[in-house]
Amino acid sequence: MEQLLASSSFGTLKAGTIIKGVITEIRQNDVVVDIGGKSEGIVPHNEFPDLGELQVGQEIEVFLEKLEDRTGSPVVSYDKAQQKKNWENIVANSAEGSVVQGRVKAKVKGGLIVSVGVDAFMPASQIDVQPPKNLDQYVGQTYDFKILKINTERKNIVVSRRELIEEQRHEKRRVLLDEVKPGVKRKGVVKNITDYGAFVDLDGLDGLLHITDMSWGRISHPNEMLKVGEEIEVMIVEVDRDRERVSLGLKQCSANPWENIERKFPVGAHVKGKVVNLVNYGAFIEIEQGVEGLVHVSELSWTKRISKPSEVLRIGQEVDAVILGVNKDEQKISLGVRQLEANPWDMVRHNYPAGARVRGKVRNLTNFGAFIELEEGIDGMVHVSDMSWTRRINHPGEVLKKGDEVDAIVLDVDADQQRISLGIKQTQDDPWADIDRKYHIGDIVEGKITKITNFGAFVELENEIDGLVHISQIGEEHVEKIKDILKIGQQVSARVIKIDREERRIGLSIKAASYDPAQLQAEINSIDRQNKIGAGSNASSSNSGQDINNLGDLLDKAGQ
């Protein structure tokens, strides 16, 4: 045995060295290699880049890791032999900053393992200009890499593909900046999308495609038209070589639809379009790609009360409209929908002439009056001043409520402004027209207390005419609080002491109801004298003459 060992090469084998061997068998999962030892070595298939290049009897180099394992067989590795030779070759011939070719072997945490003869690490941030989300796509691919760092002690190499790409892009960018000029069309790939636009890669030079240069029409966000990775053709709009910036346009690659807009869409023309946007004041209708018109909310209907267009329209709806106006410079078109139908207000003067008696339903109440619906979409308005000949009405709710059926007289018609003025009091005779025949100063009248204020009490007389008993005319004695003397609903007798036909006011006196003619005349004379004295001055509340003279003011206060 000693002679046999001495005659073989086994005694010269040394662990940790590269030795030569001969392939004796290529099996399903491994390759058998004779290294001249007691047993043959086994190398797994995955250590060979291409099994098709191997043949039985071929000599290869392997790395002897151990002379024997537990079974007495040597442990050899083809891959480690290559790694060792390549490492020595890289250290001898390559330096940091040099470029080598390699193949991506596997994905690991934080990056990729790249075979450049030896295994090197490429961080994810060094794979491309934009760190990719999917690293699996690089496994098995061959690229050029730049060596960033070589650690001989740890036998580590860090490589980068990104730096080579950036260098190439920088060179391309310099060339492109010299070549490009406004008006030239180029193809590019959408690299990034923001709220205000998209960045397009022009093969090494990034250009900004602003949202306003994407379409002649309306878009809310660039992603409505573009997606990352998409190839598009754009036009160079502006070049800033000092700042290395290029502005791009997409809409400029097609004809401007506003160029001959007046000829294509003359005023009065009927058009079809699609609702593309709804706002509080109207609806935008696309009547041609890149051309929109606005239908103002007031142009949606002649008669319907539309507060916002979403009540009658929806996004995407097809509508017919009429061209009302075109402004090429501001790229604005005014549209109307109601113009497709006859304007019912054109017949209002004929259907509701001034003086005509009409009947309608109370549709709405406001502070200043009531709207009466005469027919669908046609309202007339009754002002509070035209609701009663005799009563001061501060709010129409005092005499009307929604849904009431009322008669009225047409007072005025303004078809241009779509207004009809109505009067309710005009359906009756004005009781003040012959007030001098009904009431005289000194007359005794009967009435009911309807309202009490701090300055007097209102008495309802015949024909719904109110008279005012001032606090000074309630009794002979001074009255502090009227409510202590009079009650609402109480029937009282009083004398008429003042009639103002023009101002529609009647002054009453309860205390003078029992006066004889001489006393009444004396009271009236006293009031007249005090009126003259108090004219133009601010008399106290106890001044009965001034109080009666200011009856109109008191009536106004009572209604507040």
Which of the four CATH numbers 3.20.20.140, 1.20.120.1200, 2.40.50.140, 3.30.750.200 does domain 344-427 have?
2.40.50.140
User: Rounded to an integer, what distance in angstroms lies between the CA atom of residue 560 and that of residue 188?
Assistant: 75
User: Rounded to an integer, what distance in angstroms lies between the CA atom of residue 274 and that of residue 314?
Assistant: 10
Joined together, the tokens standing for residue 177 give 């900046």
Question: Which among 132, 217, 226 has a CA at the least distance from the CA of 208?
Answer: 226
- Asked if 364 and 370 touch (Cβ cutoff 8 Å), the reply is yes
User: Rounded to an integer, what distance in angstroms lies between the CA atom of residue 506 and that of residue 517?
Assistant: 20
Report phi then psi at 526, rounded to 5.
Answer: -65, -40
CATH fold label, 2-81: OB fold (Dihydrolipoamide Acetyltransferase, E2P) (2.40.50)
Does 180-253 match 261-340 in CATH topology? yes
- Residue 392 falls in which region: left (phi positive, over 0), alpha (psi -120 to 50) or beta: beta
Q: Which architecture characterizes domain 94-165 according to CATH?
A: Beta Barrel (2.40)
Name the one residue in this structure whose structure tokens are 């491309």: 128
Give the CA-trace dihedral at 320, 324, 330, 332, to 10 degrees: -20
Question: Which among 186, 196, 181, 290 has a CA at the least distance from the CA of 237?
Answer: 181
Which residues are CB-neighbours of 246 under 8 A, at least 6 positions away? Answer: 177, 180, 202, 205, 206, 207, 208, 236, 238, 239, 240
- Asked if 121 and 158 touch (Cβ cutoff 8 Å), the reply is yes
User: Rounded to an integer, what distance in angstroms lies between the CA atom of residue 299 and that of residue 315?
Assistant: 18
- Asked if 546 and 531 touch (Cβ cutoff 8 Å), the reply is yes
Each of the 560 residues of the chain gets a pLDDT tens digit; together they read 344 444 444 457 888 888 999 999 999 899 999 998 888 999 999 888 888 888 999 999 998 988 888 888 899 998 888 888 888 787 777 778 888 888 999 999 999 999 887 888 999 999 988 788 888 999 999 999 999 998 877 888 899 999 888 888 777 777 777 777 888 888 889 988 898 899 988 877 788 889 888 887 777 888 888 888 888 888 888 888 777 788 888 888 877 788 888 888 999 999 999 999 999 999 999 998 888 899 999 899 877 878 899 999 999 999 999 999 999 888 899 999 988 887 788 888 888 899 999 999 999 999 999 999 998 778 899 999 999 888 778 899 989 999 999 999 999 998 888 899 999 999 988 888 888 888 888 899 999 998 899 889 999 888 778 889 999 899 888 888 899 889 999 999 999 988 888 778 889 999 888 888 887 777 777 776 766 655 544 433 334 434 444 444 444 443 33
Query: Would the pTM count as exceeding 0.85?
Result: no
User: Rounded to an integer, what distance in angstroms lies between the CA atom of residue 511 and that of residue 494?
Assistant: 7
pLDDT of residue 505: 84
User: Rounded to an integer, what distance in angstroms lies between the CA atom of residue 55 and that of residue 25?
Assistant: 8
User: Rounded to an integer, what distance in angstroms lies between the CA atom of residue 449 and that of residue 210?
Assistant: 77
Spell out a b/e string for 179-196, using b for 16 or more CB atoms within 10 Å of the CB, else e: ebeeeeebebebbebeee
Q: Which CATH class is domain 432-558?
A: mainly beta
Distances (CA, A) of 245 to 189, 199, 206, 241: 17, 11, 8, 6
CATH fold label, 261-340: OB fold (Dihydrolipoamide Acetyltransferase, E2P) (2.40.50)
User: Rounded to an integer, what distance in angstroms lies between the CA atom of residue 350 and that of residue 272?
Assistant: 34
Give the CA-trace dihedral at 499, 501, 504, 508, to 10 degrees: 10
Cα 71 to its chain centre, rounded Å, is: 77
Domain positions in the chain are: 2-81, 94-165, 180-253, 261-340, 344-427, 432-558
User: Rounded to an integer, what distance in angstroms lies between the CA atom of residue 177 and that of residue 49?
Assistant: 43
User: Rounded to an integer, what distance in angstroms lies between the CA atom of residue 197 and that of residue 210?
Assistant: 4
Distances (CA, A) of 553 to 162, 310, 396, 460, 547: 91, 49, 21, 18, 9
CATH fold label, 180-253: OB fold (Dihydrolipoamide Acetyltransferase, E2P) (2.40.50)
User: Rounded to an integer, what distance in angstroms lies between the CA atom of residue 252 and that of residue 209?
Assistant: 11
- Asked if 296 and 280 touch (Cβ cutoff 8 Å), the reply is no
Joined together, the tokens standing for residue 211 give 């949202």
User: Rounded to an integer, what distance in angstroms lies between the CA atom of residue 41 and that of residue 47?
Assistant: 14
Q: What is the pLDDT of residues 27-61, one digit of tens each?
A: 989 999 999 888 899 999 988 888 888 899 999 99
